[in-house]
Amino acid sequence: MTDTHNLMWLDPHVHMTSRTTDDYARMRQAGIVAVIEPAFWLGQPRTEAGAFKDYFSSLVGWERFRASQFGIRHYCTIGLNSKEANNEALAEQVMELLPLFVCKEGVVGVGEIGYDDQTAAEDKYYRLQLELAKEVGMPVQIHTPHRDKKAGTIRSMDVSLEHGIAPDMVIVDHNNEETVKDVLDRGFWAAFTIYPNTKMSNERMVEVVKTYGSDRIMVNSAADWGISDPLSVPKTASLMLERGISLEDVRKVCYQNALDAFGKSGQIHESDWISETSDVDQRLKFSGNSVLRGGQTPVTGGGATPASGDSSASNIVR
């Protein structure tokens, strides 16, 4: 594949809570300068609202700090995922938490929300979160269902329009060849998750861009607790360049479009990582904790990308 190490990439959907510090180091080496981590289902149902509170706090706190220690800027979206919306007693409590987090520093949208089994409960809490996003003027990140995807995708868009949310404020994720035309024709952002064996492969993604161009299309890795690859974005960019897609189009799909879409939050700017005063400093700690272990030498200064430099826990709701 073509060498892309001198280029910058943004992964707009990656669950770094599920990844190790080694992944952060490899991602930065591959040119990823910023990531967006959507709140999602952790693989096992949460049983108390406090579990959500701690999880949201980690997204705006520890995870943001941990990424900075490897030269990557971390942002997130906050929301009640569709799968857990079906526990209505708990969902009601989570809805009370969301306003405490959606306007925190580094939060760039409400998400990932939408449908899983397309139940009445999922519809109810999807609509409530669309109203929250509209109230605070934040982009919406939609999780499209794995089953009956096309119908669920169209329904997701229909409902968001019904609630008066402009298509350019909505990122529709987990697209495939069956859904992309509908999403683009309606003016929404179309995001694609590149997985090793499911969803979209980078080979298929190349063909999507060749067919539909680069406008309002973005690539992500998801990279959750399942079999996934946190380097999917740079690997797909490399293959696109190798297959004759222009550098301008590749940059849009793997960097600029995500920046433009989530930039509508006012919380993410290219200047966040293009700065001479934002070197990595692994001497910093977060709530007394370091990414280093005994005997390891901290990296300081000269970081190829900026770190946040914020070792406080000010983003955590106590």
Q: Give the E-state strand segments of 54-213 in sequence order.
A: 73-78, 107-114, 140-143, 170-173, 189-193
Which DSSP string do the residues of 131-174 spell out, in sequence order?
Answer: HHHHHHT--EEEE--SSSHHHHHHHHHHHHHHTT--GGGEEEES
Q: Which two tokens stand for residue 181?
A: 């035309």
For the chain, the structural domain boundaries read 9-272
Asked whether residue 271 carries a pLDDT value surpassing 60, the answer given is: yes
d(Cα 265, Cα 108) in Å, to the nearest integer?
Answer: 5
Query: Between the CA atoms of 24, 311, 38 and 5, what dihedral angle is there, to the nearest 10 degrees?
Result: -30
Residue with tokens 């024709």: 185
What's the CATH number of domain 9-272, 3.30.360.10, 3.20.20.140, 2.40.110.10, 3.40.710.10?
A: 3.20.20.140
d(Cα 33, Cα 43) in Å, to the nearest integer?
Answer: 27
Asked whether residue 306 carries a pLDDT value surpassing 60, the answer given is: no
User: What phi and psi values does residue 292 have, to the nearest 5 degrees?
Assistant: -95, 160
pLDDT digits (tens, 9 = 90+) for 136-169: 999 999 999 988 999 999 999 999 999 999 999 9
pLDDT digits (tens, 9 = 90+) for 7-26: 999 999 999 999 999 999 99
Q: 55, 63, 79, 238: which is closest to 173 by C-alpha?
A: 79
pLDDT digits (tens, 9 = 90+) for 179-201: 999 999 999 999 999 987 767 89
> For the chain, how big is the Rg over CA atoms in Å?
19
Q: What is the mean predicted confidence (pLDDT) over 108-119?
A: 96
Q: Which two tokens stand for residue 93?
A: 């409590």
The whole-number pLDDT of residue 103 equals 96
